[in-house]
Amino acid sequence: MRKYFILFVSFAVMTLAADEIFAQSRYGVIGGATFSTSNFKEMNRATMTQWHAGLTYKLDLPLGFSVQPSLMYQVKGAKMHNVLTDGDKFDVNIGYVELPVSFQWGPDLLIFRPFLDVTPYIGYGINNKLMATSGEGQPVDVMRNRWSSAGIRRVEYGMGLGVGIEVWRIQLVGRYNWNFGSLYEDTIRDNETNFVNIVESAFNRRNFGGFTLSAAILFGGK
């Protein structure tokens, strides 16, 4: 009898704990704009505007903390000029499946919640487009979905720092992101194009960096 009582109490405690966790968690959709470029400051570069979208899950913790992983499709890119010769232009776009995990802290002020945000992330490239144009704006060469043969590393990882605000079920976050490591990968080369030399010049020991502005709609919870 005692054994069954202990099992019953344990089950009740686990049920209450699970119910409490579910009450403090929310899920939703997330998307927004991505403004990225090469973090090679000495290069003649410009910001490229792209986008990101996916699913998110938020778990509230004690003392104003929360953790919010997401799974999204994230497009990053850069515009560069005079990489190899005067007047040339080079655009790179890479689409990643990305897993960011946002760690947040902020006080709950009843109708809204401002918070600080630290977000490590990892991603894997699934498509890309490289385009070189002449100084007159004429396309010179276009390459799609080439990775090691173009000198591009598929795996990305980095860190984002930002601030956000949550009002009811709407969440807005502004974050600056640093991709760590080198986008350029010294592997088997495709010597028939100049893209490897361009990627090496622009991204050897360099990577993407930039700002993201995200909006999420959260469901569930209390």
In 3D, which of 95, 102, 81 has the Cα closest to residue 162? 102
Question: Considering the entire predicted model, what is its pTM?
Answer: 0.82
DSSP string, 184-215: B--SS--TTSSHHHHHHHHHTT--EEEEEEEE
- pLDDT value of residue 10: 41
List of domains in the chain: 27-219 (2.40.160.20)
Q: Three-class SS of residue 54?
A: strand
Which residues are paired to 33 by β-bridges?
Answer: 51, 213
- Give the span between the Cα atoms of 32 and 46, in whole angstroms: 20
DSSP H helices in 47-140: none
pLDDT at 17: 38
pLDDT score of 9: 35
How far is the C-alpha of 127 from the C-alpha of 122, rounded, in Å?
Answer: 16
**Is-contact 121 129, C-beta < 8 A?**
no
Q: Spell out the per-residue pLDDT of the chain, length 222, in tens.
A: 544 334 333 433 333 333 344 448 999 999 999 999 886 666 667 889 999 999 999 999 999 999 999 999 999 999 887 766 666 788 899 999 999 999 999 999 988 999 999 999 999 999 999 888 876 666 677 889 988 888 899 999 999 999 999 998 999 999 999 999 899 887 655 555 567 877 887 788 889 999 999 999 999 876
